[in-house]
Amino acid sequence: MTNPPTGRLEGNDLILTRTFRAGIDDVWASVTESSRTARWFGQWTGEAGPGRTIKVQMAYEETNPWMEARIDVCEPPHRLALSTVDEAGAWHMELLLTEAGGVTELRFVHHLTSTEGVGEVGPGWEYYLDNLVAARAGEPLPDFNDYYPSMKAYFESLRES
């Protein structure tokens, strides 16, 4: 069983948050170091830095495809902005981290061009962020089938609010 969906829409931005009882540098490492992203999303290769393009393997997708991701902004340990282009279109995402009292909040923002496909996109990001939570805790990763299609209606309802 999975947690209830947490995503919300602000305009065309899909926003999801997760909190960790950990320092910001440790959470930053979980979302930027290839050996750690491999545990919940996929490994990446290349020379990282603003304006550079890396290759990311989506380890939890069918056929484990590789995609290119451009690093638009990298401001350790607070902000990482990425852009990808594939057959699904252009995707622009940001990871924003803040820390207070030993708790770090990760705010994930997917800047959508339209909210039309949010019923498919939202459950996927819930799944990946829950993967991150589980990987950091050393727990088994969730099953995507617990996210989609069961969360689709929730995310589609956000378009009407």
User: For 87-114, how does the pLDDT look when each residue is reduced to its tens digit (9 = 90+)?
Assistant: 777 899 999 999 999 999 999 999 999 9
Query: pTM value?
Result: 0.94
> Does the residue 141 lie in any domain?
yes
Cα angle at 101 between 27 and 50, to 5 degrees?
A: 35
The three-state DSSP-derived secondary structure of 73-139 is EEECCCEEEEEEEECCEEEEEEEEEEEECCEEEEEEEEECCCCCCHHHHHHHHHHHHHHHHHHHHCC
* Domain encompassing residue 137: 8-158
Q: Are 72 and 50 in contact (CB under 8 A)?
A: yes
pLDDT tops 90 at residue 68: yes
How do 103-111 and 13-20 pair as beta strands?
A: antiparallel
pLDDT tops 80 at residue 2: no
> Does the residue 28 lie in any domain?
yes
> Does the residue 1 lie in any domain?
no
**CATH number for the domain harbouring residue 16:** 3.30.530.20
> Does the residue 34 lie in any domain?
yes
**Residue carrying structure tokens 């997917």:** 110
Domain count, the chain: 1
> Does the residue 3 lie in any domain?
no
Q: At what angle do helices 24-32 and 118-137 cross, to 10 degrees?
A: 120
> Does the residue 136 lie in any domain?
yes
pLDDT confidence of residue 27: 98
> Does the residue 19 lie in any domain?
yes
Assign 1 a pLDDT band (cuts: 50, 70, 90): low
